[in-house]
Chain A
Amino acid sequence: SISKMARKGDVVIFLLDVGSSACSAPPGHATFLQNALKVINMIVQHRMFADSKDEIGLVLFGTRETDNRLADERGGYDHVTLAREVGPPTLDFLKMLQCEILPGNEEGDFIDALVVGMDHAQHYMKGKKLGDAKFLLFTDCGSPSSGDDLETIRASLESMNAQLQVIGPDISDEEIPNGASGPPPGKRKTQIQISGERILKRLASFVDGTFLSFTDAMETLAFFARRQAKQTSVFRGPLEVGSNLKINVWGYYRVKEQKTISFGKVSAVSQASAHPGSMRVKMERSYHLNDEDQTEVAKENLAQGFWYGKDLIPIASVDKEAMKFKALKCLKALGFTKENNVKPHQYLGEGVVAFVPDPDNRDAGIALSALIHALQEAGYVMIVKYSFRANAEPKIGVCTPHIKPNYECLLFTQLPFMEDLRLFTFASLDKKKLAANDDQVQAVDDLISGMDLTQAVRDEDGELGEGLKPKNTFNPVLQRLYQCIQHRALNPEDALPEVDPLIADCLKIPSALVAANEAAVEKVKAAFPLEKIEKKAKRDASAAAVWKDTGSVDLDNPVSMAKRVRADESLSMAGIARVQIREVGTVDPLGDFKALLGDQEVDLFDEAFSQMRKRVCQLIFDSLGDQYHGKAIECLKALREAAVRFREPAKFNDFSTELKDRLLAGRGSDFWEKIKEGISIIWGFSTWS
Chain B
Amino acid sequence: GPDKKSWKTAMSSFPTSSWTWGEFYHTGEDDDETEDESNESETRSSSKDSLIFVIDCSESMFEKREDDSPYTLCLRCAKNVLSNKIISSDRDLVGIVFFATEKEKNPTGFKNVFVLHELDSPDAKRILELEDLAEGDVHAKFQVKFGHSKEFSLYDVLWTCGTMFANSSQRVGHKRIMLFTDNDDPHPGNLALQRQAKAKAKDLYENGVEIDLLHLNSPHGTFDPNLFYQYIIMMSEDDDPGILSNPSDKFDELLTRVRLKDHKKRSLMNIPFNLGPDLELGIRVFALVRSTKKGVAAKLDPRSNEEVKSRTKNICEDTGTLLMPTDIKRCYTYGGEKILFEKHEVDSMKRVIEPGLKLLGFKPKSFMKRYYHVKPAHFIYPDETVIQGSSKLFVTLLKRTLARDVIAVCVFVPRTVSSPRFVALVPQAEQFDARGVQICAPGFHLLYLPFADELRKLSYSHMEKASTDQIDKALEVVKKLKFKFSSEAFENPGLQQHYSNLEALALERDAPDEIVDLTEPDVDQMEKRAGNVLKEFSDLVYPHGYETVSVGRKRAGPSGASSEAKKAAPSQGDTQLVVATVQEHAQSGKLSKLTVATLKEYLKAVGRKGTGKKNDLIESVKEHLGI
Contact = CB atoms under 8 A, between A and B. Distances in A.
B21 A488 contact: no
B548 A475 contact: no
B84 interface: yes
A334 interface: yes
A323 interface: yes
Contacts of B47: 552, 554
Given A325-B493, A352-B371, A683-B7, 6 more contacts: A236-B573, A268-B326, A366-B464, A530-B390, A678-B17, A685-B417
B33 interface: yes
Contacts of B537: 245, 367, 370
A141 interface: no
B312 A283 contact: yes
Contact of B278 (A360, A424, A525): A525
B288 interface: yes
B465 A269 contact: no
A308 B499 contact: yes
Given A337-B485, A476-B420, A269 B454 contact: no
B550 A277 contact: no
B389 interface: yes
Contacts of B489: 418
B316 A471 contact: no
Tell me what chain A mostly uses at the interface: helix, strand, loop, or mixed: mixed
A625 interface: no
Given A242-B531, A302-B301, A680-B24, A552 B317 contact: no
Nearest to B127: A309
A102 interface: no
A329 B458 contact: no
A315 interface: yes
5 contacts: A242-B481, A286-B310, A390-B567, A507-B352, A528-B389
7 closest A-B pairs (Cβ-Cβ)? Answer: A6-B607, A91-B335, A393-B494, A521-B276, A374-B474, A370-B466, A407-B460
A480 B90 CA distance: 42
B319 interface: yes
Interface in B277-310: 277-281, 284, 286-292, 294-295, 297-302, 304-310
A253 B470 CA distance: 28
B463 A531 contact: no
From DSSP, what is the main secondary structure of chain B's interface residues? Answer: mixed
A489 B334 contact: yes
Contact of B242 (A90, A428, A447, A518): A428
Interface stretch (A132-140, A175-183, A227-235, A616-624): A227-235
Contact of A477 (B271, B352, B530): B352
Given A366-B541, A427-B240, A305 B300 contact: yes
Interface residues of A, number: 256
Nearest to B373: A347
B289 A281 contact: no
Contacts of B174: 554
A533 B339 contact: no
A452 interface: yes
B11 interface: yes
Interface string B390-404: 111111111111001
B266 to A, nearest CB: 6
Interface stretch (A115-123, A509-517, A571-579): A509-517
Contact of A507 (B353, B416, B552): B353
Size class of B's contact patch? 35 or more
A660 B316 CA distance: 20
A602 interface: no
Given A385-B519, A425-B438, A269 B392 contact: no
Nearest to A537: B385
Given A363-B546, A419-B88, A90 B335 contact: yes
A6 B605 contact: yes
B475 interface: yes
Nearest to B587: A264
A370 B471 contact: yes
Interface string A278-318: 11111111111110001001000111111111111111000
A536 to B, nearest CB: 12
Contacts of A682: 14
Interface in A654-689: 657, 660, 676-685, 687-689
A551 to B, nearest CB: 4
Contact of B406 (A305, A448, A485): A448
Nearest to A319: B505
B569 interface: no
B317 A310 contact: no
Contacts of B281: 530
A345 B447 contact: yes
A507 B316 contact: no
B173 interface: yes
Interface in B468-505: 470-475, 477-479, 481-495, 497-499, 501-503, 505
Nearest to B392: A434
A644 B312 CA distance: 24
